[in-house]
Structure 1
Amino acid sequence: MKTGPTVPAWTLAVAAMLSVQLGSALSLGIIDTIGPAGTAWLRLTIGAVIFIAVARPSLRTLRRADLPVVLGLGVTTGVQTIAFLAAIERLPLGTCVAIEFLGPLSVAALRSHSRRALAWPALALAGVVPLTEPWHARVDLTGLAFAVLAALGWASYVMLTQRLGDRFSGLTGLSLTVPVAAVTAAIIGIPQAAGHITVSVIAAAGGLAMLLPVLPYALELLALRRMTHLAFGTLMALEPAMGVLLGLLILGQDPSVMKVLGIVLVVGAGAAAQRRGERGPATPTETTKTASSPALT
């Protein structure tokens, strides 16, 4: 029996990253109304409802030993989401994505146990300098601090997600951690959004929740079933460039020549770092661990 043509796996991965960056760019509209923490709280809350409805996790399967990882990953996700949204409120989208990308890139380099691998985060960091243009004496230090916090959050998220993947499969892990992330964001998000929540705001947050993290996770899961982690990781290096492109097309953030050079350095460092990656035979646990790591930006 003949089957129809299949969509190339790399297009699914690219679509997932575009969904992430599109959701980030479109978040600025709602951020102006309910703030970055309020946006994070609403988006994570709706996302949590969707994941619970789809995965229907049973709390009976949650062991006491699982709690530190579930709670740690949930809190990390909540803080990371707030930090990134607060960063893009103050800095160009491409700049924020490039700085945030330093987190997982550094984790990959450190885990390679190779001194040469440390050159790639250093090269990416060199690329961040022209992105921030400190010689113009107009660096938004608050925005930069939020972007660095988001990078630390993403690095922690990758490591904690790997541990979570050893305990849960499929969407179960996310259906447990995203509600924790929503509660974490609520601490700041509810007071920030209070008095500004309308039906249109809730509808917009619902759309953003589909873009981040629901749709990217599904696309990444499909892609990783048909491509190596090395290929997927190399494609991830394109995210900063996608951030610049969508920042230009949607937000009118016209990058200077120096900023384009910075993006090229960051993307090149990310791609080069992945070229030395190794992957053994794929297992369901490995797929779960890798698929869930970038989807909650």
Structure 2
Amino acid sequence: MVTVHVEGFREPELPRSGPFALAAKAFGAIPPPALVLLGVVSVQIGAAVAKQLFTLAGAAGTVTLRLVLAALILLVVWRPSLRLDRRTYAVIIGYGLVLGAMNLLFYQAIKHIPLGAAVTIEFLGPLAVAVIGSRRWLDGVWALLAAAGVLLLTRVDGGLSVAGVLFAAGAGACWAGYILLTAALGTRTSDGKGLALAMVVGASLALPFGVAEAGTMLLDPVVLIAGAAVALLSSVIPYSLELEALRKIPPRVFGILMSLEPAVAALAGLVVLHEALHPAQWVAVFCVVLASVGATRTAKPEV
């Protein structure tokens, strides 16, 4: 899964004692843009590692391991209280369901199509959030550029699997909902406790699919170790890096750096999975990256 910061969202404060204090001190010596890029690389390497685990646990089994283990880590770190009002519970449940569905759909997408292609198509979700409702002609240009990029991506070299494209598009729609619900979660909770509970909801959604596909293989020591690596690379490490970076740079700068996700995903797919994209597909990836950078860079500031 990929993380997007929304202006107006209060990023949670990490505990300032123990291992987290040491980590924060170490992160403090790294320039914030480097922290964001390291987080992006970590997410995509985690996705590449997860895809290699599909042969043992399947796509649903792998995402179940990731979400369950990430939920356990967050519960231990934040120790959330269950004394919440109904509206807060509604936001947490909605956020968790979207989070779980987004991951299930994305892992099914990379099962059928290259990682770089899946992330590029999925990225239309947050891009749509950035441009929908805008009346500026320039945002229409960014939308058309992104659409042209995805069209080129799916038409080159025999095209992509229809199932993979649909799964990636579904993940993108969930990502758009995830962004909107992130703002709601930020107004209802002031730290990572809401996220921890939402992760439990997402893990609960994925669990039946994972058990049905992988069964007892989910308890295999090798699979558990690989799943823990995916949880760390895709959730715990980038989450910590991005939070530290957001304390030092404006959200818009963060958004521009996050726009590099499709290109980094394509590189991770090439290096880790040996998924070579056609030259025209690389052009398509960079069309979407450029559209995202443009939409983020020229967006009007929130008031």
TM-score > 0.5, shorter chain as reference: yes
* Mapped partners of 1:45, 1:234: distance in 2: 30
Match of 1:16 in 2: 39
**Offset, 1:195:** 3.4
* CA distances 1:100-143 after superposition (whole Å, capped 9, x unpaired): 1100011011254535313312211210122222672x531111
CA distance in structure 2 between the aligned counterparts of 1:162 and 1:111, rounded to whole angstroms: 17
Residue of structure 2 in register with 1:124 after alignment = 146
Encode CA deviations 1:123-179: one digit per residue, 9 max, x unaligned: 11210122222672x531111110001100100100011100001122112111000
Is 1:79 aligned to residue 105 of structure 2?
no
For 1:127, the aligned partner's letter is: G
The answer for the alignment partner of 2:278 in structure 1 is 256
What amino acid sits opposite 1:13 in the alignment?
A: V
Which amino acid counterpart does residue 71 of structure 1 have in structure 2? I
Pairing of 1:39-78 with structure 2 (within 5 A):
39-60=62-83, 62-78=84-100
Q: Deviations over 1:199-240 (max 9, x none)?
A: 110111011111121111111100010001110101111110
Shift of residue 187, structure 1, vs aligned partner: 2.2
TM-score normalised per structure 2: 0.87
Q: Structure 1 stretch 235-244 or stretch 26-35: which is displaced more?
A: 26-35
Change (3 A) 1:134 1:156: same
Partner of 1:91: 113
Q: TM-score, length-normalised on structure 1?
A: 0.89
Instruction: State the Cα deviation string for residues 228-286 of structure 1 (Å, max 9, x = none).
Output: 111010111111000111111111111211011101111110110011134469xxxxx
| 1:63-122 per-position Cα deviation (integer Å, ceiling 9, x unaligned) | 111122111110111111011011111111110010011000110112545353133122
- Counterpart position of 2:16: none
Q: Report deviation, 1:35.
A: 1.2
1:105 alignment partner, one of 107, 121, 127: 127
How far off is 1:188 after superposition? 1.1
Q: What secondary structure is seen at the aligned counterpart in 2 of 1:89?
A: helix
Once the two structures are superposed, the pairs formed by residues 229-248 of structure 1 within 5 Å of their partners are 229-248=251-270
Judge conservation of contact 1:230–1:278 (CA < 8 Å) in 2. no
Alignment of 1:89-238 (within 5 A): 89-133=111-155, 136=158, 138-197=159-218, 198-238=220-260
Assess if the C-alpha contact under 8 Å between 2:92 and 2:195 holds in 1. Answer: no
SS in 2 for 1:195: helix
Q: Is the 8 A contact 1:228 1:279 kept in 2?
A: no
Number of the residue aligned with 1:35: 58
Matching residue's letter, 1:183 = S
- Secondary structure (helix, strand or coil) at the match of 2:197 reads helix
The residue that corresponds to 2:49 in the other structure is 26
User: How far apart, in 1, do the equivalents of 2:134 and 2:89 lie?
Assistant: 29
Matched residues in 2 for 1:246 and 1:156: separation? 26
CA distance in 1, matches of 2:179, 2:112: 25
Question: How big is each residue's C-alpha offset from its partner over 1:26-71, in whole Å with a ceiling of 9 and x where there is no partner?
Answer: 11121121111111111100000000100111111x1111122111
Contact kept? 1:99, 1:148, Cα under 8 Å: yes
Percent identical across equivalent pairs? 38
Contact 2:156/2:281 (8 A) holds in 1: no
Instruction: Supply the distance in 2 between the matched residues of 1:57 and 1:196 (Cα, whole angstroms).
Output: 30
Show structure 2 runs of 5+ residues with no match. Answer: 1-24
